[in-house]
Structure 1
Amino acid sequence: MREKMGKYVSLANGVGAFAVIAVFVLQLIWVPSFAATWDMVDFALGVLHFDMYQMQPHFPGYPYFILGGKALHLFVDDPAQALTLFNIFLYGSAIIPLFLLIKRMTGPSYAMMATAFIYTSSFTILMVNQPMSEGAALGMMWWYIWSLVFATEKSHNAYLILPLFLFSLLLGIRLSYLVLGIGILLVLYRKWKSGMLKVMDMLVYILIAILFQLLWVSGISISEGGYGSFLRLALSFTNGHFQEWGGAIGASDLSMSERFIKLLFVNTIWVGGAGRSLLLFLCLVVGLLVFRNFPVGKYYLTRLMLILLGSYFLWAIFAQNVMKPRHALPLIGMCLFLIAGTLFSRRRSSGGTLFLLLFLLFQVFHTSKLLYIHTSETPAVYQMADYLEGEDRPLVVYTWEESRVLEYLAVPFTHKKVQTYEVFATDSGYYPDRDIYLTDKVVEGFKDQGIPVEEFIKVEKHFHSSELTDPIYHDLTLYKWEKPRKGEE
């Protein structure tokens, strides 16, 4: 046993362990308390009172994520912080399956360093430290992928129950990872082809998988009034996601080529792989050019990872919002896994090892910097709320999705969500003695409707926060409405 463990004792693995511990500690120290987007507010309110009809949270309910947040809310007052801590702990636990997987691809003296390279990825850590379900889902994804490999390597078919159960937990945290279920079909097919599994056995395991999923579906259905009610919510959400607001291909103005470029080159490589750091990007390019040998690990593990990656890429390009890089997190994680398998698959010269050590340490530095900025920088919507609270005159502000955040903050001024100019023109007429403000998203909506509003608005103030943490509302402009004179309306 001592000899076996001794193979993993090396400077590279020591630095890798230090990197993981340092980032994990900083994640716990710098836990932000903001719920700065519509989805974040949905999740935070779901911790306080679960009600899908009130979008607390929205469909499909994310029951295991909310349950984790509720458990930590017993110790942490802020529901957003409770959800973030659940993300941190569950993603932190993924160190175990990550190490068990990557050591199949690398030499023992680099296994922990390769694990740290994947774990400390700047954009991934930044997303984990948000009250969104992606962080917990990513942690569970690595446990699920490890269970697929584990079940494949075992001769007894009963081990198949483990990935079936973990896949249920994964979908109960984030349903959009559904396409990763192809991994289960691959394992079943592999065992059937080798003669270890009969067709009837396969049907039994598929039935078990469905029953595991019904655990969380039934729980939510009961809480929301039955399966019929749950189905209505599902149809309503699916229609909106794919046709209206969800950013899927049917609800997007981007062409297929634009979606492809955005998903692959911007979201996965530039944002996800390099964290928008030119130096990290150059390190990735140089590392892959210099150490371009194919991983020497288990062939079926590489093939499994490539199939899962390709399946999720197709799913993301057709069914996810490519304007939000966080939807590419599974792609980012699996790409980094394969890159780590390439970089650390063989023993390197002292110069090569030094390069990889510096690469990892700079990534940790960049990750730490982003974490600090994230927790210390006030989101643009919060900045606007503070500014308007400081106004000593009665006012009304018309917003787009920002209204959800203002409602969560319980601001003392009147705010209303508006999407059409006709509604605004009628409603604002009820406040002749108040200052009228509009956010830039509202103004852009009016312009898209063909309403020439330029002569009636003036810029009141600009607000800015990090684009990495909020790609949609990081730049916010507040306009003051100059009421038109009679005859100009």
Structure 2
Amino acid sequence: MREKTRKYSSWANGIGAMAIISVFILQVIWVPAYASTWDMVDFALGVIHFDMYQMQPHFPGYPYFILGGKAFHMLVRDPVQALSLFNIFMCGSAVIPLFLLVKRLVTPSYTVVATAFIYTSSFTVLMVNQPMSEGAAIGMMWWYIWSLVLAHEKSHNGYIILPLFLFSLLLGIRLSYLALGIGILMMLYTKWKSGLLKIMDLFVYVLITILFQLLWVSGISMSEGGFDSFLRLALSFTNGHFQEWGGAIGASDLSLLDRMVKLLFVNTIWVGGSGKSVILLLLLVGSFFLLRRVKLGNRHMISILVLLAGSYFLWALFAQNVMKPRHALPLIGISWFFITVMLFSRKRTRAGSLFLILFLLFQVSHTSELLYKHTSEIPAVYQMAAYLEETDQPLVVYTWEESRVLEYLDVPFIHKKVQTYEVFATDAGYYPDRDIYLTDKVVEGFKNQGISVNDFIEVEEDFHSSELIDPIYHDLTLYKWEKPRKGEER
């Protein structure tokens, strides 16, 4: 026992342990209370009252995520903070499978510090502290990957049940991680190829996989009026996601090459790898000089991770919104895992070790700075709401998705979501005695419809918050509408 303890006791591992503990404590202390996007409001309202028809939350319901939020809601009154705390503790628990995976590839005296490198990754930690399902899903993803590796290593087929069950929990938290299910197919194929499974066994395990998924699907269906209702919601949501608002390749103006560059170089490297820190990016580039002559063992584990990363890359490229870096989190996490285990797969010189420790300390410092900024900086939508509340004159504000946030904040002024100029022109006519305001997303929408409104708007106020925290609504311009005289309407 003493010998085992000595293996993991080194000054580098001690610093790694302190890094993990420090970041976790700061995550718990600095939990933001803002629901600044449409999806965040959906999740927060789902904690208070679950109703998919009211988009509380939207399809597919994220039942295990909402259940976790409800559990923490008994401890804290704010549903936003409840969801974030569930994320923090779920992702914090992933230190265990991360350590168990890392130690298969890394020199023992670096195992804890390598785990710290992955856990304290700035952008991932920032996203975990948001009331979005990605945080809990990333934590569950590492448990799922560990279970896949464990099932392969054990000859007893009973271990196969574990990844099937954890995959059900993963999809019940975030369905868009469906692409990671290819790991189960690979595991079953490998077991069959090695003679540990017969064809009938494969059918049995596929059936078990389906039954585990039906646990949460059935629960959601019963709460929403049956499988027919659930199917209608599914068809409506998937049509919108892939064809209209979801940012998938069929609903995006970006070319395939632009999407690939955005996903790989912006989302995965610049945002995911360095958290938009030039110093961390330089340290990351510098660390590549330490990767020469690196050979990793445990080839099957590497094959699983490569397959999962490749399948999710294709899924994110074609079916996710590349304008939101959080959709690349599994790709970011697995890529960061590969870099880390290669850096620590063999004993480093004192200079190399000091460089890597410096890298970790800078990362922890940047992560801490982002966490504090996230909890102290007021989102642009909240700033706009506060500004309009202080306006003396009666008003109406026409918005895009910001209306969901204003509804959640229960603001005292009239606000309406509008997408077409015709609807706006008709509706605004009902308020001759009120000031009319429009957000920049509404104005952009009108221009995309071929309507020139420049002659009738003037900038009222600009609001800014962090692009890293909110990539879509970090810059918000509020326009005042100058009502056109008769004959000037477009």
TM-score relative to the length of structure 1: 0.99
Is the 1:297–1:345 contact (alpha carbons within 8 Å) kept by the matching residues of 2?
no
1:15–1:113 contact (8 Å) kept in structure 2: yes
Alpha-carbon contact 1:288-1:342 (below 8 Å) kept: no
What displacement does 1:295 show? 4.2
SS at match of 1:437: strand
Q: CA deviation at 1:5?
A: 2.1
How many Å apart are 1:296 and its aligned residue? 2.4
Q: Tell me if structure 2 keeps the 8 A contact 1:180–1:308.
A: yes
Could you tell me how far 1:260 is from its partner in structure 2?
Answer: 0.2
Question: Which residue number corresponds to residue 426 of structure 1?
Answer: 426
Alignment partners' CA distance in 1, 2:28 and 2:187: 37
Q: Distance in 2 between matches of 1:240 and 1:293?
A: 48
Q: 2: CA distance between counterparts of 1:264 and 1:357?
A: 26
* Local SS of the residue matching 1:7: helix
| Counterpart secondary structure, 1:396 | strand
Determine if contact 1:165/1:209 at 8 Å carries over to the other structure. yes
Q: What is the rounded CA distance, in whole Å, between the counterparts of 1:273 and 1:185 in structure 2?
A: 29
Deviation, 1:253, is: 0.3
Residue of structure 2 equivalent to 1:73: 73
Matched, 1:373 2:373: yes
Any residues of structure 2 matched to 1:75-474 within 5 Å, and which? 75-474=75-474
Kept after mapping to 2: 8 A contact 1:105/1:298? yes
Matching residue's letter, 2:152: T
CA distance in 2, matches of 1:263, 1:293: 28
Classify the secondary structure of the residue corresponding to 2:33.
coil
Q: Name the amino acid aligned to 1:269.
A: I
- Determine the C-alpha separation between the residues in 1 that align with 2:307 and 2:204: 24
- Equivalent AA in structure 2 for residue 221 of structure 1: S
1:286: how far off? 1.0
User: 2: CA distance between counterparts of 1:46 and 1:295?
Assistant: 47
For 1:399-435, what per-residue CA distance to the aligned partner results, in whole angstroms no more than 9, with x for missing partners? 0000000000000000000000011101001111100
1:43/1:66 contact within 8 Å kept: yes
Identity of aligned residues (%): 77
SS of residue paired to 2:8: coil
**Displacement of 1:292 after TM fit?**
2.9
Q: Distance in 1 between matches of 2:481 and 2:108?
A: 65
SS of residue in 2 equivalent to 1:273: coil
Given residue 62 of structure 2, which amino acid in structure 1 is its aligned partner? Y
The amino acid that maps onto 1:336 is W
Unmatched tracts of structure 1, length 5 or more: none
Write the mapping of 1:40-59 to structure 2, written as runs, cut at 5 A: 40-59=40-59
Q: Deviations over 1:369-428 (max 9, x none)?
A: 000001000000000000000001100000000000000000000000000001110100
8 Å CA contact retained: 1:292, 1:343: no
Please say if residues 95 and 115 of structure 1, whose CA atoms lie closer than 8 Å, have aligned partners that are also in contact: yes
For 1:5-24, list aligned pairs within 5 A. 5-24=5-24
Task: Report if aligned partners of 1:105, 1:295 keep a CA contact under 8 Å in 2.
Answer: no
Residue identity in the other structure for 2:311: S
1:38 corresponds to = 38
Q: Which amino acid aligns with 1:71?
A: A
- CA distance in 1 between counterparts of 2:209 and 2:201 reads 12
**3-state SS of paired residue (2:460):** strand
SS at match of 1:32: coil
Q: Following the alignment from structure 1 to structure 2, what is the Cα–Cα distance between the partners of residues 144 and 290?
A: 30
Contact between 1:309 and 1:331, CA under 8 Å: does it hold in 2? yes
Q: Gaps (5+ residues) in structure 2?
A: none
Q: Could you tell me which amino acid in structure 1 is paired with residue 226 of structure 2?
A: G
Query: In 1, Cα distance between the equivalents of 2:59 and 2:409?
Result: 23
SS at match of 2:35: coil
Structure 1 residue matching 2:272: 3-state secondary structure = helix
Query: 2:3, 2:298 → 1: CA distance?
Result: 23
Closer, same or farther: CA 62–295 of 1 in aligned 2, 3 Å: farther
Q: CA RMSD in A?
A: 0.7
Moved over 6 A (4+): none
Cα shift at 1:189 = 1.1
Shift of 1:290: 2.6
Q: Deviations over 1:58-91 (max 9, x none)?
A: 0000000000000110111000000000000000
Deviation, 1:4, is 1.4
How far off is 1:132 after superposition?
Answer: 0.1
Q: Secondary structure at the match of 1:282?
A: helix
Instruction: Provide TM-score, normalisation by structure 2.
Output: 0.99
Partner Cα separation in structure 2 for residue 102 and residue 295 of structure 1 = 14
Distance 1:131 1:163 in 2: 26
Question: Number of matched residues?
Answer: 489
Query: SS at the partner of 2:82?
Result: helix
Q: After superposition, give the CA deviation of every residue in 1:270-296 in whole Å (9 maximum; x if it has no partner).
A: 000010011111111111123333342
Letter matched to residue 230 of structure 2: F
